[in-house]
Every structure is written in structure tokens, then in C-alpha cells.
Amino acid sequence: METARATEKARHVRVAVFDVDGILTDGTLYLSDSGEEMKAFNSRDGHGLRMLQDAGVTLAILTGRRSRCVEHRCRDLGISHVLQGVKDKRAGLEELQALLGVTADAMAYMGDDVIDLPVLRRCRFAITVPEAPAIVQANVDYITTAGGGRGAVREVCEFILQAQGLLSAQLARHLA
């Protein structure tokens, strides 16, 4: 993985789109006896998303599953573009492009499984996690060192901010 190439691609990101299971979470699905679904989200990933958003990058969620806890988490983070239950992620990407008025050339996507390949192969900056299958890893620009739900999203947010020369300003807000 060539870091200079990934940095150049990240420099142009205006919209960052994230899958949920395996990216914002570790991929484990918790189901109660009543069938209620629960997920564990990483708070540092959440802060990374807020920094990216504060720097002017639009955030979106594109996930194949539908879950109320995802709605709650996105509301908490101020992510208003949330597409859940999307089985055809290419169509979901096209919906986001139309809604946001951008092309895939201004977008990053972070996904971890074969269902994500149509989007990973279209967006300018494609990212995955170390747990992703080899075919997914072979089709991305950047593989995080941190795992899904374990800081991978924060790593990507900081990578994009660094590539755009905005990380120091975001961090400085907390040093005052």
C-alpha cells in the first residue's frame, strides 16, 4: 500500500461514507431474547468523525442492515445522511451522490466485505480494515492498522485530516 498515493487521494475527499458492521463496530451482532439488536461503538471513532465533520467533510452512513441503534448513534454524532437496509450499495452510493451533489471522485468509502466492493471500486479513496477478506483488501487504497470498532474510523479520520492539512487545527482546539 503506497502511502503517498493514499494521501493524495485523501486530499480530495469532500464526503466520507462509512459502513457500520465491521467498520464502526467490530462486526459482532448482539441479539437479545426478544430480538432487539445492540451494537458497541467506539467513542474515539465518534470523536474522529466529529473532527472530520467540523473540518467541513460531509459524513454519511451506507449499510446493508437496518438498526435503531445506528439511528441513535448517528443522531448523537450529527450524521444526517444515513442509508440503512441497502442491499445494492452501488445504488445507495448513487443516491448519496445525487442528494449531496458530488461525484464519486470527491468521496471516500470505508467498508469491509464483498457487498462493499461496488462502492469501494468507485470512490476516489477506498479504505478497509485488517479483518476484511483478501479480495476487499486488494481493492482499496488504505488498510487501517486498527480493527473495525477498535479505532479504525478514528485512524481514517485523522489520515484524511492530515492529508488535507487540517489535523493540527482540529487537535489545537483541545490544547487551549
pLDDT tens per residue, range 92-119: 999 999 999 999 999 999 999 999 999 9
The predicted pLDDT at position 176 comes to: 73
Pairing outcome for strands 30-31 and 37-38: antiparallel
CB 110 within 8 A of CB 127: yes
The predicted pLDDT at position 174 comes to: 85
The predicted pLDDT at position 36 comes to: 87
Neighbouring C-beta atoms of residue 99, cutoff 10 Å: 11
The predicted pLDDT at position 78 comes to: 96
| Listed residue (4, 6, 41) closest to 20, CA to CA | 41
The predicted pLDDT at position 35 comes to: 87
The segments of the chain whose pLDDT lies below 50 read none
The predicted pLDDT at position 1 comes to: 59
The fold of 3-166 is Rossmann fold (3.40.50)
The pTM for the full model equals 0.96
